[in-house]
Copies of this chain bind each other. A is one copy, B any other.
Amino acid sequence: MTMEAFGEEEFGERRSWEAPRPVAEPGWMSEEELAATRGRVPILYVEAVPVRVDHLGRVTRVGLLLRGSSSTGRLTRSLVSGRVLHGEAIRDALLRHLEKDLGPVALPVLPTTVVPAAVTEYFPFPGVSFHDPRQHAVALAYVVPVTGECEPRQDALEITWLEPHEAVSSGVLDEMEGGRGSLLRHLLRHVGAVD
């Protein structure tokens, strides 16, 4: 399996269940099954913009991940992002991907509601605003304050903390793939961090 742009190494990974949910069919998939599934249904994702906030809840820094893109060879910046597994609650998926990308002591403060700040539809064909060459993905997006220490994990080379106005500068947004620069700018405007 080649390394892909948005950290899909969790595919096929088993995970522990939150009580009181039963340990049911864990949705394990071989690569063939994964490929087949991606051609049949939209795949549900969660995406998160990790931020530092002040005592008033205002965003002071935005955390962007630096990754090597296997498809293009160049470095890209990305959000925390990953699939919701079969049987997994959205909150569990969100925490799992935050810990996967930011480390176990990032101490994210998850939103009280799972109603997302934005819904993004990535299509596998060209000519769309949001694009994912691998699949049709629908992502529920959140802005998540983190209060602990973050360290890059998995395939992320680095976490960069930028001021909001730096994060939406054209140089940075251009380093994001599939339309995520546009998503980032919208989410930061949603929380009032940029005009």
Q: Residues of A at under 8 Å CB distance from B?
A: 18, 20-22, 24-25, 27, 29, 33, 36-37, 39-44, 51, 53, 55-59, 83-92, 95, 109-119, 121, 123-125, 127-129, 136, 138, 140, 143, 145, 179, 182, 185-186, 189-192, 195
Contact = CB atoms under 8 A, between A and B. Distances in A.
A84 B138 contact: yes
B138 A22 contact: no
Q: So how many copies of this chain end up in the complex?
A: 4
Given A56-B92, A91-B58, A121-B90, A145 B112 contact: yes
Nearest to A189: B186
A41 B39 contact: no
A186 B115 CA distance: 13
Contact of A115 (B90, B116, B138): B116
A186 B190 contact: yes
Contacts of A114: 119, 121, 192
Given A112-B191, A115-B119, A24 B87 contact: no
26 contacts: A21-B125, A22-B127, A24-B124, A24-B125, A25-B39, A27-B41, A37-B41, A40-B86, A41-B41, A41-B43, A41-B83, A41-B84, A41-B85, A42-B84, A42-B85, A55-B95, A87-B123, A87-B124, A90-B138, A109-B109, A115-B118, A115-B119, A115-B190, A116-B119, A119-B140, A189-B189
